[in-house]
Amino acid sequence: MSDKKFKVVICRDLGPDVMPILTSRKELDLTIWPHQTPCDRKWLLENIQGAAGVVVMLSDKVNDELLDAAGSSLKVVSTMSVGYEHVSLDALKNRNIKLGYTPDVLTDAVADIAVMLALMAGRNTKETMHIVDKGEWANHTWSPFSFCGPQLSTSSLPISPDFPRPSSATKVERTVGFLGFGRIAQATLARLVPFGVTKCIYSTNPSSTTKPSDRSVDDALAERIHLPKGSIYRVDQQMLAKESDVLFVLAPGGPATYHVIDEDFLKRMKKTAILINPSRGTLVDSDALAKALKEQWIWAAGLDVVEGEPNVAADHPLVQEPRCVILPHIGSATFETRLGMATLAAQNVVAGILGAQMPTELVLSDK
């Protein structure tokens, strides 16, 4: 039996529950970045030499520079992320290197964050929490419409034959829109059903024109999450912008979706609309969104991602907007989800090196 060991570089310690997946394998020789900080690029380029596998994070750029440093021994790159914008797919494909990633396990956590952001943005939590944090609550006396924002759940005023309904009466129906309609979007929609949402519109490909919706697929989803038949359907971008009361941006990043939410899109939205982005910062033009909020083209925004993150300082235009709630990319930040991601990342690199089936491989021939 061969006693050859395969070198594996780990760009972050994966924790006591997951590291044994790697340390218990006698076939592997591990080189681990020893700090709980982003892996130093110089360290990575020096230590990747002769490696058969590498486990990277979103902050680790996998490009020709890194692959040249690794040499011909590299068999697999495993990223602890569902996104892979930091990885040059063409470079891996050209060198016949496999790529593992961590989809699915993030679905519930990100869907939870999406709904949380919709509630926080719509109900003005940034403005109102600031009042409490600064000790200024006593200076803001209650008034009939103070601190109000658009309600996520559906409601209607009682009907009285003796009094006409106000012209701006609360709508009974809420239309939620999705730019991208994959697993996370559908899980988000399912969470909104108990709020009374009964109408969903979506666009699956932001760079394309409208295509006929597959009614059987949409109706099957509606039935599964207890919505009426015909309540889910595909529209083009213009209709998505015009009709959405809350718009969830849940599409992948990359050149095809860069700044798909731009000034023209935002100008088409309702003044009471709320924009939620828990996916990729590059999908939204930050300057255009800041302008839309400042000039009140839309009501509010809730973001878990911002273009250029983490370099988002206190003077960033979106940070300055009182109706823009921003979280520091914590969509997957639950103990359960991060454990699942780390586990898949470790299993993927082991399988890729030893020639076994990787639990979640991104098949590069399809890209």
Asked if residue 225 has pLDDT above 60, the reply is yes
* CATH 3.40.50.720, applies to 107-326: yes
The rounded distance, in Å, linking the Cα atoms of 182 and 205 is 11
This prediction has a pTM of: 0.89
CATH topology of domain 6-104+335-366: Rossmann fold (3.40.50)
Strands 199-203 vs 232-234: parallel, antiparallel or unpaired: parallel
Structure tokens at 40: 């130093």
Asked if residue 258 has pLDDT above 90, the reply is yes
H or E stretch at 203: strand 199-203
Mean pLDDT of 161-183: 77
H or E stretch at 335: helix 335-354
Q: Which has the closest alpha carbon to 67: 43, 87, 37? A: 87
Q: How far is the CA of 298 from the CAs of 187, 269, 273, 301, in angstroms?
A: 25, 7, 5, 8
Tell me the three state secondary structure of residue 249.
strand
Q: Which has the closest alpha carbon to 78: 100, 104, 49? A: 100
Cα-based torsion angle of the residue sequence 110, 116, 120, 126 in order, rounded to the nearest 10 degrees: -60
Q: Which of 226, 259, 316, 329 is catalytic?
A: 329
Q: Is 140 a catalytic residue?
A: no
Same fold, 6-104+335-366 and 107-326: yes
Asked if residue 1 has pLDDT above 50, the reply is no
Structure tokens at 318: 């979106």
What is the pLDDT, as a whole number, of residue 4? 83
Each residue's pLDDT tens digit, 178-215? 999 999 999 999 999 999 998 999 998 654 444 555 78
| Placement of tokens 């090196």 in the chain | 353
Q: Domain locations in the chain? A: 6-104+335-366, 107-326
User: Could you tell me if 277 and 259 are in contact, meaning their C-beta atoms sit under 8 angstroms apart?
Assistant: no
The maximal CA–CA distance of the chain, rounded, in angstroms, is: 91
- Give the range among 9-18, 67-76, 162-171, 253-262 with minimum mean pLDDT: 162-171
Number of C-alpha atoms within 13 angstroms, CB side, residue 54? 29
H or E stretch at 114: helix 107-122
DSSP string, 217-268: HHHHHHHHTT--TT-EEE--HHHHHHH-SEEEE----SGGGTT-B-HHHHHH
Task: Quote the distance between the C-alpha of residue 275 and its chain's center.
Answer: 13
